[in-house]
């Protein structure tokens, strides 16, 4: 009776984990814990001889989101059984030839083709029906939309994102994902395909569903898929009669730490397709294949503290900091806890003995807290602004801490990114990911703080990815931007509609002086008097200047910046056809960026403008010119191709 009760508990716990993982892409437990519970349930089923109808060992996990159309699979999509040792693998193969391949860790997909064209893409779902995700799969970078074969067929594979693209993209998202698997799943299942276009997802084919295509062996099937234009999963052939040592050596070639994509093991499948089919299947897995998962070695260490940071959405990230431990040749001392539920479950306290591991040999995670003192208090205020934190529950049932203060500096990361960007203050090294870290920890709360990073040097050096040399490079980049022109600073402030072009006009008007610009605002200067300035821009300047909260962000920077007067004309360039002329550039130019052509016109003594009017003397026309060209033709403004512009410069003896 106790065994049956325990089995019911395990089924319910695994069901909740499956729903969070598959339906909401928000895992509530580590893979190691899930596998442990699953194995315990399977062992109890063998021991008791009883299998309950709701057991996850008899079905494939997964749920269908209500917001996507459900589609039934032509054949059930089952899982693979598991072997835990090389000896088990050798015994399973029984001397038969097999194909060894990566077990990719992403979102399993089915692609249906009709008359040589992609007709539908479906997720695995619960194995019997999945979700129609054709709209997002069509824009994955390596999915063939048309193939040479005109017969109906289905291709099964994995939607994955590389580790490199995962780390680059994750730092730009409002709520970072814990693993590439979740990012791939969350991306493929988005309703708006445009949000997925830049995420770099790939499709790796591993199976063909067809009665008469692909040949009689697994190797021939994979070769056929490659000929059709699919990227196939990496694989190799294990010869018939391979010894246990030969199997081990073949497996040693597959090193997950060196592989570009996330993987959680290896797949062994019989090469003879007819033999594989003859082995049948259970309700959970097909007997033609088995999976091997690398064991996650645990390492004991001591928990020291909880690192709390505020994200751009106001969500509070919780990271465990512990004594250094070397895993797979790298020193590890941080592990992200994912959510409040994991923090509560672990009951962490300073000095607790914990065991840690690298999930899939990549991501550090806490497997267990052996002490569970619970001495680490739950944070109750935002580390960035000091506001009281609240607990929110996601649609998947997981709890997270949030800061609800809309004015919290952590929510202003994008403004910091804008301020530091290449075409504004151009502070190298302060990219979005770095700024997010600095803001989350409360080291940067206004633009002035960017120039006082030395105050937090000791803490920054403890941050993963930072060392003495990288900090020195960053400090040098900041120091180089303690001097700037007025137009650079104004463009960096993020005043609505007042960008680089407007900044140059203001720079000329006020002689590069911030004091003169600010005095004009205090004297109620009418900015509509300036070329290309309308009432909206005028009002935006005054609205921005009167915003006290906004002033707290930018005014401290004035204590660290010296303004330089920018020479906008060159003496030798006064005798040229563009000196004193109003010139507009439109379309894509071959030899200049948008900013570059503006600077060139300024150096010629011209007045670069952003819109065409009766006062415009020349319109330089590039590729894909639009309404500005039409308006110029209507007004009779002289239009120049880029080559004509360059020729006029050459005729005047001026370099392009």
Tens digit of each residue's pLDDT (9 = 90 or more) over 574-585: 568 888 888 888
Alpha-helical runs (H) found in 393-526: 413-420, 432-440, 457-461, 468-480, 486-492, 500-509, 514-522
Q: How confident is the model at residue 570 (pLDDT cuts 50, 70, 90)?
A: very low
Tell me, what's the pLDDT at 603? 77
Distance CA 482, CA 448 (A): 11
Number of residues that make up the chain: 656
Tell me, what's the pLDDT at 46? 81
pLDDT top residue among 172 and 142: 142
Arithmetic mean of pLDDT, 136-159: 89
In order of their start, the domains of the chain are 2-58 (1.10.287.610), 70-292 (3.30.470.30), 299-403 (2.40.50.140), 409-481 (1.10.150.20), 484-564 (1.10.150.20), 571-651 (3.40.50.10190)
Tell me, what's the pLDDT at 624? 72
Arithmetic mean of pLDDT, 408-419: 80
Helix and strand numbers, DSSP H then E, in the chain: 22, 24
**Tens-digit pLDDT profile for residues 482-533:** 888 898 899 899 888 788 888 888 988 898 889 999 999 999 999 988 877 8
> 128-132, 229-233, 240-244, 461-465: lowest mean pLDDT where?
461-465
Backbone angles phi, psi at 98, to 5 degrees: -145, 160
Residues 6+ apart with CB under 8 A from 121: 109, 110, 111, 112, 132, 133, 134, 136, 137, 138, 143
Give SS3 for 523.
coil
**Tens-digit pLDDT profile for residues 532-547:** 788 888 998 999 999 8
Give SS3 for 623.
strand
State yes or no: is 302 an active-site residue.
no
Distance CA 437, CA 440 (A): 5
Q: How confident is the model at residue 65 (pLDDT cuts 50, 70, 90)?
A: very low
Contact 360, 256 (CB under 8 A): yes
How would you classify the pairing of strands 299-310 and 353-359? Answer: antiparallel
Distances (CA, A) of 452 to 280, 438, 442: 67, 12, 13
Whether 59 has a pLDDT exceeding 90, the answer reads no
Distance CA 581, CA 571 (A): 16
> 59-73, 159-173, 398-412: lowest mean pLDDT where?
59-73
Whether 322 has a pLDDT exceeding 90, the answer reads yes
β-bridge mates for residue 268, sequence order: 100, 290
Whether 571 has a pLDDT exceeding 90, the answer reads no
Q: How confident is the model at residue 64 (pLDDT cuts 50, 70, 90)?
A: very low
> 370-379, 481-490, 561-570: lowest mean pLDDT where?
561-570
CA angle, residues 442, 447, 448, in degrees to nearest 5: 90
Average pLDDT of the chain?
A: 84
pLDDT top residue among 518 and 68: 518
H or E element at residue 8: helix 2-18
Distance CA 26, CA 18 (A): 10
Distances (CA, A) of 576 to 351, 589, 603, 606: 75, 21, 11, 10
Q: How confident is the model at residue 135 (pLDDT cuts 50, 70, 90)?
A: confident
Q: How confident is the model at residue 568 (pLDDT cuts 50, 70, 90)?
A: very low
Arithmetic mean of pLDDT, 395-418: 79
Distance CA 425, CA 598 (A): 17
Buried b (16+ CB within 10 A) or exposed e, 150-187: eebbbbbbbbbbbbebbeebbeeeeebbbbbbbbbbbb
Candidate list 15, 82, 84, 103, residue with the active-site label: 103
Whether 478 has a pLDDT exceeding 70, the answer reads yes
Distance CA 495, CA 443 (A): 24
Residue 322's Cβ-count burial label (10 Å; 0-12, 13-18, 19+) is: buried
Distance CA 351, CA 321 (A): 11
Instruction: Give pTM, 2 decimals.
Output: 0.51
Give SS3 for 298.
coil
Contact 263, 105 (CB under 8 A): yes
Give the CA count within 13 Å in the CB-facing half-sphere of 617. 12
Buried b (16+ CB within 10 A) or exposed e, 486-518: bbbbbbbbbbeebbbbbbbbbbbbbebeeeebe
Q: How confident is the model at residue 351 (pLDDT cuts 50, 70, 90)?
A: very high
Q: Give, as one character, the DSSP assignment of residue 87.
A: H
Distance CA 562, CA 482 (A): 6
Contact 294, 361 (CB under 8 A): yes
Tell me, what's the pLDDT at 63? 44
Distance CA 202, CA 160 (A): 5
Backbone angles phi, psi at 527, to 5 degrees: -70, -15
Give SS3 for 342.
helix
Residue 2's Cβ-count burial label (10 Å; 0-12, 13-18, 19+) is: exposed
Whether 207 has a pLDDT exceeding 90, the answer reads yes
Distance CA 428, CA 422 (A): 8
Distance CA 499, CA 610 (A): 11
Whether 247 has a pLDDT exceeding 90, the answer reads yes
Pick from 100-109, 179-188, 311-320 the range whose average pLDDT is largest.
Answer: 100-109
Which residue in 392, 363, 289, 25 sits closest to 183, CA to CA? 25
Tell me, what's the pLDDT at 27? 65
Q: How confident is the model at residue 26 (pLDDT cuts 50, 70, 90)?
A: low
β-bridge mates for residue 209, sequence order: 154
Q: How confident is the model at residue 157 (pLDDT cuts 50, 70, 90)?
A: very high
Q: How confident is the model at residue 636 (pLDDT cuts 50, 70, 90)?
A: confident
Q: How confident is the model at residue 572 (pLDDT cuts 50, 70, 90)?
A: very low
Whether 249 has a pLDDT exceeding 60, the answer reads yes
| Percent of the chain surpassing pLDDT 70 | 90
How would you classify the pairing of strands 562-564 and 483-485? Answer: parallel
Which residue in 312, 296, 307 sits closest to 363, CA to CA? 296
């Amino acid at each position: 009776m106790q065994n049956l009760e325990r089995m019911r508990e395990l089924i319910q716990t695994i069901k909740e984990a499956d729903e969070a993982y598959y339906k909401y892409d928000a895992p509530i437990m580590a893979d190691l814990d899930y596998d442990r519970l699953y194995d315990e349930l399977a062992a109890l089923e063998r021991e008791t001889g009883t299998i309950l109808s709701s057991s996850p060992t008899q079905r494939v996990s997964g749920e269908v989101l209500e917001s996507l159309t459900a589609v039934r699979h032509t054949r059930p999509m089952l899982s693979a059984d598991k072997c835990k040792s090389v000896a088990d693998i050798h015994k399973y193969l029984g001397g038969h030839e097999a194909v060894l391949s990566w077990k990719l860790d992403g979102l399993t997909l089915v692609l249906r083709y009709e008359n040589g064209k992609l007709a539908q893409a479906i997720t695995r779902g619960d194995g019997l029906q999945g979700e129609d995700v054709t709209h997002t799969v069509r824009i994955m970078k390596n999915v063939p939309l048309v193939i040479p074969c005109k017969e109906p067929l289905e291709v099964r594979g994995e939607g994955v994102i590389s580790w490199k693209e995962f780390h680059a993209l994750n730092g730009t998202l409002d709520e970072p994902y814990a693993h590439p698997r979740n990012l791939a799943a969350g991306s493929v299942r988005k309703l708006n395909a445009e949000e997925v276009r830049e995420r770099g997802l790939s499709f790796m084919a591993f199976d063909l569903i067809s009665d008469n295509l692909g040949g009689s062996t697994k190797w021939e099937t994979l070769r056929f898929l490659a000929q059709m234009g699919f990227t196939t999963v990496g694989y190799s052939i294990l010869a018939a009669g391979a010894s246990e040592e030969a199997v081990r050596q073949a497996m040693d070639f597959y090193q997950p730490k060196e592989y570009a994509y996330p993987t959680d093991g290896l797949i062994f499948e019989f090469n003879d397709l007819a033999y594989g089919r003859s082995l049948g299947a259970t309700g959970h897995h097909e007997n033609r294949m088995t999976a091997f998962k690398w064991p996650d070695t645990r390492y004991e260490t001591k928990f020291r503290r909880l690192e709390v940071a505020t994200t751009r959405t106001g969500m509070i990230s919780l990271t465990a900091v512990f004594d250094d431990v070397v895993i797979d040749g790298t020193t590890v001392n941080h592990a992200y806890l994912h959510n409040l539920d994991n923090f509560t479950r672990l009951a962490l306290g300073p000095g607790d003995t914990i065991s840690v591991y690298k999930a899939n040999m990549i991501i550090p995670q806490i497997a267990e807290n052996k002490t569970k003192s619970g001495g680490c208090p739950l944070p109750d205020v935002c580390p960035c602004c000091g506001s009281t934190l609240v607990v929110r529950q996601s649609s998947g049932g997981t709890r997270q801490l949030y800061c609800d203060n809309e004015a919290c500096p952590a929510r202003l990361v994008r403004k910091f990114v804008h301020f530091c960007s290449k075409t504004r203050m151009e502070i190298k090294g302060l990219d979005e990911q770095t700024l997010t870290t600095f803001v989350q920890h409360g080291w940067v709360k206004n633009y002035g703080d960017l120039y006082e990073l030395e105050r937090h040097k000791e803490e920054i050096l403890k941050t993963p990815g930072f060392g003495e040399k990288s900090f020195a490079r960053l400090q040098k980049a900041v120091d180089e931007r303690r001097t700037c022109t007025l137009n650079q600073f104004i463009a960096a402030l993020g005043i609505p509609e007042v960008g680089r072009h407007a900044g140059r006009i203001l720079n000329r008007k006020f002689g590069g002086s911030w004091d003169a610009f600010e005095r004009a605002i205090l004297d109620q200067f009418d900015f509509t008097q300036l070329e290309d300035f309308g009432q909206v821009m005028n009002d935006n300047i005054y609205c921005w200047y009167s915003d006290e909260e906004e002033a707290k962000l930018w005014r401290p920077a004035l204590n660290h910046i010296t303004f330089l007067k920018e020479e906008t004309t060159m003496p030798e360039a006064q005798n040229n056809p563009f000196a004193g002329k109003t010139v507009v550039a439109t379309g894509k130019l071959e030899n200049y960026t948008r900013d570059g052509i503006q600077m060139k016109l300024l150096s010629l003594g011209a007045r670069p403008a952003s819109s065409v009017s009766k006062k415009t003397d020349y319109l330089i026309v590039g590729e894909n010119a639009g309404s500005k060209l039409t308006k110029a033709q209507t007004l009779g403004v002289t239009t120049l191709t880029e080559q004509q512009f360059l020729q006029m410069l050459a005729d005047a003896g001026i370099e392009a």
